[in-house]
Amino acid sequence: MARMAGTPGTPRVLRAMNDRAALDLLLEHGTLSRTRIGKLTGLSKPTASQLLARLEAAGLVLATGTTAGRPGPNAQLYSVNPAAAHVAGLDVKTERIRAAVADITGRTVGDFRLPTPSHRAGSAVEHVVRALEGAVKAAGLSRADLHRVVIGTPGAFDPSTGRLRYASHLPGWHSPSLLDELAAALPIPLEYDNDVNLAAIAEQRLGAARGHGDFALLWNEEGIGAAFVIGGRLHRGWTGGAGEVGFLPVPGTPLVRNVVKANNGGFQELAGCNAVLRTARELGLDVPEGSLEDAAAALLRRAADFHEEAASADGGGEPAGPYAELLARCATGHAVGLASIVAVLDPELIVLAGDVTVSGGEPLRAMIQAELAELAVPRPRLVLGTVQTHPVLSGALESALATTRDEVFDTSR
C-alpha cells in the first residue's frame, strides 16, 4: 500500500491508510459488510467497526441496508456516500460543448450539450459557463457543490505561456488571457487537458487499457491524434504537444511546411476522415451526407459489415470489391503512421479509438495489425477502444475524480 504524507508508522497515518483502502474497496464493490471489509483489508472486526464508524461520522460512507435473504444473521451493508463530493467534466469541440457532473462514486448525475456553431454569439468563457451551468442544473446542484472541473479541448495549453496550441480550428480559444478569464468566471479548481489524453485516461481506467502501464492510443475523429502512457503516466511533452501526430510526415503524402498555418498534411491526409472520403470517391462508392467525420465513419461501418457478410458467405475467404479495397487502403494508411510511432515508443499495447477507426470494427483492426507487422519491427497488440460513449467526457470526469478522491478521502488531516 502506498505510504501517505505524514510521520511513517504513526497511528494516525496507519488509520488514514486503512480508511483509504476501505473506501477504494467500497468504490470497487459498491456495497460491503463490516466482515467483508475486514477480510479484504486484513483488519480485525473491532478495527473494521471503528473504521466504518469514523468514515460514517466524516460523511464518507453510508449504511445502505442489510444482507437480508442470506443464511445467518443479517449484516449491515455500507457504501461510499455519493454526496461526499461532485466533479464536472467538459468536452469541447468546434460545434458543441458537452458537460457532465458525477458524484464521488463516478455515477453521472447530470449532463448538458451546448451547440456552439461559429455564428453563435458569445465568448469561449461564456460558452463554458453556460454548458457547466446546464449540467449542474440537470444534476440538481449548484456550482458551489463542485470540487473540481476538468476541461478537455483539441490541442493543448502550453504550460509556459498558458495559450492553446495545435488547435487553430477552435475559434475563441486562443486569447492569452483565456485561462485567467475562465478562473475569474469559475472560482473552482480548474484543470485542462488534451481531448485525446482524456480518452486515454478513460481507456486506462474503464476500458481496453486497464492494467496496462505502457500503451499508445490512436484517435481518429475530426482529426488524428495520439496519447502516450509510459510507466502508468501520460506523457504530455514540453509544450503539451506530445501526440499531435496528425502533422507527422509520412510516406504517401506531400511534404507540407508551416503545417500549423496550413492545418493539414502528413498522417491526417493519409488516414483521417478526409482520406477515407477521398478513397471512397475514387472507388465509386456513394458518400453519405453529413460532417466529414460522420460520413467517413458511416462508410467504414458499411465496409466492415460487407467484409463480415462476404467472409461468412465465402466460408472465410478474402472478400473483394470496393468496400474491401476501402478497408485495405485505410488499414495501410493507419499502419504507415503507426510504424513511426512504435519505432520510437515500442508500446505494449495500441488502442484504436475515435468514431472513424472504431467504425471499421474488427475487420479494420485486424488489417491494421497485419499491415503494421509488415512495416515495423516492434509488434504491439492492437485493440479497439471500448469506451465508445463520450470517451473524452468520461476521461475528464475520471481525471477530476482521481484528484478529488485523493483530497476528500484523506482522513490524515
Residue pLDDT, tens place only, 128-180: 999 999 999 999 999 999 999 999 999 888 888 888 887 878 888 988 899 99
In a domain, 2, yes or no: no
pLDDT of amino acid 120: 61
Please give the distance of CA 343 from its chain centroid, rounded to a whole number.
Answer: 24
In a domain, 4, yes or no: no
Residue 224 · residue 154 · CB < 8 Å: no
The residue out of 54, 80, 106 marking a domain boundary is 80
Mean predicted confidence (pLDDT) in 192-208: 96
Average pLDDT, the chain: 91
Same domain, 222 and 296: yes
- 8-state DSSP, 67: -
* Percentage of residues of the chain with pLDDT beyond 90: 73
pLDDT of amino acid 265: 73
pLDDT tens profile 60-86: 999 998 876 555 567 899 999 999 999
Cell of 410: 484523506
The band of 317, judged by pLDDT with boundaries at 50, 70 and 90, is low
pLDDT greater than 80 at residue 2 = no
Domain count of the fold of the chain: 3
In a domain, 230, yes or no: yes
Distances from the Cα of 340 to the Cα of 98, 263, 265, 336, 354, angstroms: 33, 21, 16, 7, 20
Same domain, 143 and 225: no
In a domain, 279, yes or no: yes
Same domain, 103 and 57: no
Mean predicted confidence (pLDDT) in 386-410: 96
Return all residues near 173 (Cβ < 8 A) that are at least 6 apart: 92, 124, 153, 164, 167
Of 35-39, 163-167, 192-196, 232-236, which gets the smallest average pLDDT? 163-167
pLDDT greater than 70 at residue 351 = yes
Same domain, 179 and 30: no
Same domain, 360 and 226: yes
In a domain, 396, yes or no: yes
What is the rounded CA–CA span in Å between residue 86 and residue 88? 7
* Percentage of residues of the chain with pLDDT beyond 70: 92
**Do strands 156-157 and 224-230 pair parallel, antiparallel, or not at all (unpaired)?**
unpaired
Same domain, 282 and 355: yes
User: Count of CB atoms within 10 A of residue 46's CB?
Assistant: 10
Same domain, 61 and 179: no
Same domain, 279 and 166: no
In a domain, 3, yes or no: no
Residues forming beta bridges with residue 227, ordered by sequence position: 217
In a domain, 74, yes or no: yes
The pTM of the full predicted model, rounded to 2 decimals, is 0.91
pLDDT tens profile 96-123: 999 999 999 999 999 999 998 765 656 8
pLDDT greater than 80 at residue 313 = no
In a domain, 5, yes or no: no
Same domain, 171 and 245: no
Same domain, 290 and 403: no
The CATH number of the domain where 70 resides is what?
1.10.10.10
Mean predicted confidence (pLDDT) in 1-17: 67
The residue out of 80, 113, 133 marking a domain boundary is 80
pLDDT greater than 50 at residue 4 = no
pLDDT greater than 60 at residue 5 = no
The CATH number of the domain where 315 resides is what?
3.30.420.40
Q: What residues make up the domain containing 107?
A: 84-199+392-407
